[in-house]
Amino acid sequence: MNIILGIDTSCDDTAAAVVEGGTKVISNIVSTQTEIHTKYGGIVPELACRRHIEMIWPVVNEALSVAGIQLDDLSGLAVCNGPGLIGSLLIGCSFAKAICYSRNVPLLAVNHLEGHIFSVFLEEPKPSFPFLALIVSGGHTCLYRVDDFGAYRELGRTRDDAAGEAYDKVSKLLGLGYPGGPLIEKIAQKGNRSAIEFPRAYLQESFDFSFSGLKTAVLNFVKRNELSLTLKDTSRIAHHTSLNDVAASFQASVIDVLVRKTEWAIEKEGIRRVVLTGGVAANRELRKRMKEMGHEQEAEVFIPSPFFCTDNAAMIASAGYCHLNAGNIAGLDLNPKAYMPL
Ligand code: KG4
Ligand code: ZN
């Protein structure tokens, strides 16, 4: 039956999922740590890994019990071994190795970015190969050409901040809170996207991205206009028109660059299938704009449901299934890596 348990502890979510045949999600449990990190305005790595230690067993148990299976029913256990926060990755990897050793289950090592790409195979419609994959998350912004399972060519990546990181940092400097993406998206809906002309780093002739200049431009604008709210004042946000305009204009800048670069990649690679995934792909405006671009370019655009765009373990199990079929079994000396290109 090929039942894979997936585990992801790469960042601040403890996630476990059971997936059958690489595509059928039987259970998908994510325990977020938002309430722990919110007051610091970002993830505190030491607190993240301590929480993973507390949550890993309950989350895995829940994934198994919702699926109605036991460890002995597993065909394989897929764990994300990087890239990510090293302390957090260590918890998931050590836990996975212990189970695989004690129950004699094949261990499957999955790159987090490969997992994000495979989130698109958890739902219908599924793309056929080759396709372009734009991964936009808190830690990554990269564009790949995907010719098959295991055949990934990086076309571009961010040279500084990831798109989600820019959302989180701008949210912090506006005094909105963490994680920034959903908070900025919410107030941006009430703002004017053309109110402020923030820069767009198109980096001509390159598929690389850069968002740190945009972040600095927002900071300078806020300082000049004394716009930032303190956390105490968030009740006023809904009525704070200027702040809404900053959020909408910032978001427009990020989305314009992501969509335009994907459009160029469609033209250059001659591939008319695009997968958009990663936490920022949960953003409604980005989803809408990418689909509109696809329509204009006569390209198919595949975007997983928001729950599969953000970190989850079903995507890890899906990629793990392909590793199992390819006979790509990891040794029990598997080590996590904070930096691990696909
Ligand atoms: O993929 P993910 O869950 O974790 C990483 O691998 O990083 O992505 C998290 C990132 C955060 O930076 C968060 O602010 C951003 O995704 N994000 C969003 C939205 N939801 C989450 N960004 C923009 N709009 C959203 N609705
Ligand atoms: Zn991720």
With the most atoms of ligand 1 within 8 angstroms of its CB, the residue from 258, 310, 312, 315 to mutate is 310
CB of 76 sitting under 6 A from ligand 1: no
3-state class (DSSP) for residue 338 = coil
- For tokens 């968030």, what's the residue? 234
The fold adopted by the segment(s) 3-119+309-326 is: Nucleotidyltransferase; domain 5 (3.30.420)
The fold adopted by the segment(s) 129-303 is: Nucleotidyltransferase; domain 5 (3.30.420)
Who's near 300: CB < 8 A, 6+ residues apart?
127, 272, 273, 274, 294
- For tokens 């490969």, what's the residue? 114
Atom of ligand 1 nearest to the CA of 137: 8
Nearest CA to 248 among 184, 323, 301, 322? 184
- Domain positions in the chain are 3-119+309-326, 129-303
Atom of ligand 1 nearest to the CA of 167: 14
Q: Whose alpha carbon is nearest atom 13 of ligand 1?
A: 181
Print pLDDT tens along the chain (342 aa): 699 999 999 999 999 999 999 999 999 999 999 889 888 888 899 999 999 999 999 999 999 999 999 999 999 999 999 999 999 999 999 999 999 999 999 999 999 999 999 999 999 999 999 999 999 999 999 999 999 999 999 999 999 999 999 999 999 999 898 899 999 999 999 999 999 999 999 998 899 999 999 999 999 998 888 766 554 454 554 445 589 999 999 999 999 999 999 999 999 999 999 999 999 999 999 999 999 999 999 999 999 999 999 999 999 999 999 999 999 999 999 999 999 999
Query: Which residues are placed with Cβ below 5 angstroms of ligand 2, an ion?
Result: 137, 311
Q: Do domains 3-119+309-326 and 129-303 have the same CATH topology?
A: yes
CA-CA distance, 201 to 211, in Å (whole number)?
7
CB of 185 sitting under 6 A from ligand 1: yes
Nearest CA to 137 among 174, 169, 165, 176? 165
Atom of ligand 1 nearest to the CA of 180: 14
CA-CA distance, 9 to 94, in Å (whole number)?
11
Atom of ligand 1 nearest to the CA of 278: 1
CB of 139 sitting under 6 A from ligand 1: yes
CB of 283 sitting under 6 A from ligand 1: yes
